[in-house]
Chains A and B, each alone.
Chain A
Amino acid sequence: MSDVFLTLLLTLDATLRVSAPLVLAAMAGLFAERSGVVDIGLEGKMLASAFAAASVAAVVGSPWAGLGVAIIVSCGFAMLHGFATITHRGDQIVSGVAINILVGGLTIILGLAWFHQGGLTPALNNESRFLSITLPYAQQLAFIPVLGPIYKELISGHNILVYLAFGVVPMVWWVVFRTRFGLRLRAVGENPKAVDTAGLSVIKLRYKALLVGGVLCGIAGAYISTAHNAQFTRDMTAGQGYIALAALIFGKWRPLTVMLACLLFGFLDALAVRLQGVVIPGIGEIPVQFIEAAPYLLTVILLAGFIGRAIPPKASGKAYLKER
């Protein structure tokens, strides 16, 4: 029995690690879409910041420097998205796709030119990474039944960005629902005209929202290359930006439910790894691909309105134009 318990703990532990970047990226998307800007470029911003973080960490030797530059790079792309879609009222989807594709190529080209390792960045040593933190007394308390192992295996032993990711969620909730900025953010995504007639600038609000999203995406990217892994590899975000987008829809644009959706998708991912090649009595081997596809499938089913309805912020996807 304890074997099963430990396996479960380890799977949940992996779930947290896999979910952390999803949570950060989904929160970034939440800010953008709550303000009325669809952000398909989450994937690209994450990838760009993963590359930036790994490069800077490798050269400077500090993960924090990497994180800082990652955030700057991610915000730069967020502003590009804003320039195209808010200032020039370009198509939000096209702009997001452009960023994703541009980054996909640029990271390899720059990596190759700077490091000559086939597009990879140099492997990071421990000093230039975010390492696991063992919480106080994790070893000593491990003997306590149930709670001890939970504390030691599940709660303790993550790097600081994992704690940050999950700490960000209540903060996002607080900002969105308890502050002036949050009120205006929600309003501008629902009815920008109401915001405009209240004497507020729709454009400034949307830029601000994208900037906050840029910061969060930057952290997500840095996590992937300097915490979860120890170097940048080609397309290493592997669709996590899109999964985050799916989680955002699945969680109906609310911070806590979006986090739960990220955890669910992360759990499916962790489960897929664990079930690889495992034969379950009576069922046989479950193809990993089925579990991997589940987040996408669930999102499609949700979007089709077969399980509840996902209603996005009313003004999302539309550029704001004061019409006659």
Chain B
Amino acid sequence: MNLIMTDTFAIELTDIDKRFGAVHANNKVCLQVKRGNIHGIVGENGAGKSTLMSILYGFYQADAGQIDVLGETYTFTDSHQAIAAGIGMVHQHFMLVENFTVLENVILGCEGGALLADGLAAARKELTRLGDEYGLKVDLDTTIDQLSVGLQQRVEILKALYKGAKILILDEPTGVLTPQETEELFRIFNALKQQGVTIMLITHKLREIMSITDQVSVMRAGQMVAHRDTQDTSREELAELMVGRKVLLQVDKKPANIRAPLMKVKRLTVADSQGINRLKDVSFELRAGEVLGVAGVSGNGQTELLEALSGITPMTSGSIEVLGFEMDAKNPLTPDRLRELGLAHVPEDRHRMGLIVDFSASESALLGYHTDPKVNSGIWLSNSKVEANCQALMTAFDVRPADPQLKSANFSGGNQQKLILAREMERNPDVLLIGQPTRGVDIGAIEFIHQRIIDMRDAGKAVLLVSVELDEIMSVSDRIIVLCDGEISGRINTADADERTLGMMMANALDPIDPLQTMDDQQAFSKQESNQVSSQVASQENKL
């Protein structure tokens, strides 16, 4: 075990290629991992890291390419073969059976006989040994649902080691851990490394890469873009490589005429169904006449932010004041009520939420507004008015083909997105929340969409723009906040921002800031303009 051979590679991937339908998830990816090293793989969500690891683990089959493990070439058709070749994987979402004990989880798939008794006894012995050797202590007879997330992860590592893993892949292992648990995990990594285990660490946290890995590879948009020895690189360089440089799109933009805040978010916290906080103490103000950009690597709380602000996801604590109305955990406002007040929302994921793919375009263009008296006369929802409304939206936003009766699924991504934007923007809302407005949209449409957002701003509306595209954030927004791990890790005026700074903020590599600090800065401003807010509110009420 202690024999560390650095002359050969633990893993050699050559020209791995994988498509999911139209998505090219891995494009001729090559990777070499030295034996006994800790090798980091960084990249944004959707860069293809997880797909690559799933291929290495035999969970998916590559369309093309070669896999060598410890000097031998393999074609894995299922995970069993990868396990046999010495690969172990700790998934981002743990693959544990919650009502099983630790011991039962570990032996699943390698029970050592038709009856459990012997296998359990043998496993208990082996696990105690592994626990001693690597400092991986965990009570073997507790059920998983009784364990903390950190301990559950330990069980996953034990599972892999018990199955004889020489190479351990960990997918975003620290995403759910506390700093103390992370430290403990890194101690275990070092113990494993001492014993000759090769570790592949997939993450987007640059601080961790710098502190624990020996080598690091960077993925972007399905391709491997760089390999570095960790000691020869820096967080700044990695951030740049991860985000990449793109052609800066030009948007014609007058200086912003920022006025009173229309939305005040105070210490907003949102927990998911497992009780894990996805948003922590987020506070900011969104003012009339500005575009506030929310930057960040995807999966850092952007979805939760949008859904909490639009009343879809209940908040755990904190409060939101929107257009003069207050909502908090006890007194939520529903999505339909917020819409009546003048808040519109373009969701991040158009297929999951933005439209109903089985509906016709005109029906999808009605989502959220089906109670509007403009299309309802008494009990009758007038289809001709619905279609006329859709036709008007299609004309205004140049949706093609301009056929309201066509099924929503049959439009291209860009046209679906334009339809949703049209639906939300043409009602002239006062506050507009937009998530990933140009994801999967062609260049021409991007420019058009950006211009519409700027028009909204110039018309004195408040726009919150969530995007993982730094380019987009920088060219459209006036101010930027950065989300990392559910917290605001940076606030900056666009005029002062560059990609490097934002990249550092996204990786939370700058000094932590007080979440309430900027709030205080804005206090005086809000008071000064408060009469303007009330007039806004008054006009809102007249509308209803």
Contact = CB atoms under 8 A, between A and B. Distances in A.
B108 A324 contact: no
A199 B116 contact: no
Interface string B82-119: 11000001010001111110001101111101111101
A186 B104 CA distance: 11
A196 B60 CA distance: 11
Nearest to B58: A199
A194 to B, nearest CB: 4
Contact of B108 (A179, A181, A187, A322): A187
Could you tell me the dominant secondary structure of chain B's interface residues? loop
A178 B100 contact: no
Nearest to A313: B99
A198 B99 contact: no
B104 to A, nearest CB: 6
B97 A191 contact: yes
A190 B97 contact: yes
B95 A181 contact: no
A180 B96 contact: no
Contacts of B253: none
Contacts of A314: 98
Contact of A186 (B82, B100, B117): B100
A179 B79 contact: no
A194 B59 contact: no
B79 A194 contact: no
B80 A199 contact: yes
Contacts of A182: 116
B139 interface: no
Nearest to B91: A197
Nearest to B111: A180
Contacts of A322: 59-60
A103 B283 CA distance: 62
B178 to A, nearest CB: 24
A318 interface: no
Given A186-B100, A197-B79, A197-B91, A178 B108 contact: no
Chain B interface category by residue count: 20 to 34
A199 B95 CA distance: 12
A191 B79 contact: no
B89 A197 contact: yes
B20 interface: yes
A131 to B, nearest CB: 36
A179 B116 contact: yes
Contacts of A184: 108-109
A194 B95 contact: yes
Contacts of B80: 198-200
A21 to B, nearest CB: 29
B59 A178 contact: no
A187 B100 contact: yes
B426 interface: no
A198 B79 contact: yes
B78 interface: yes
Interface string A96-119: 000000000000000000000000
B146 to A, nearest CB: 15
A191 B78 contact: no
A92 B83 CA distance: 33
A146 interface: no
Most chain A CB inside 10 Å of its own CB: which residue of B95, B104, B110, B119: B95
B114 A181 contact: yes
Interface of A: 178-184, 186-187, 190-191, 193-201, 314, 322, 324
Given A178-B115, A198-B109, 11 more contacts: A186-B100, A190-B97, A191-B97, A191-B98, A197-B89, A198-B80, A199-B83, A199-B109, A200-B108, A314-B98, A324-B20
Chain A to chain B: the 3 pairs with minimum beta-carbon distance, closest first = A199-B80, A198-B109, A194-B95
21 contacts: A178-B117, A180-B119, A183-B104, A183-B116, A184-B109, A186-B100, A190-B99, A191-B95, A191-B98, A193-B95, A194-B96, A195-B109, A197-B95, A198-B83, A198-B108, A198-B110, A199-B79, A199-B80, A199-B109, A200-B80, A324-B51
Interface of B: 20, 51, 57-60, 78-83, 89, 91, 95-100, 104-105, 107-111, 113-117, 119
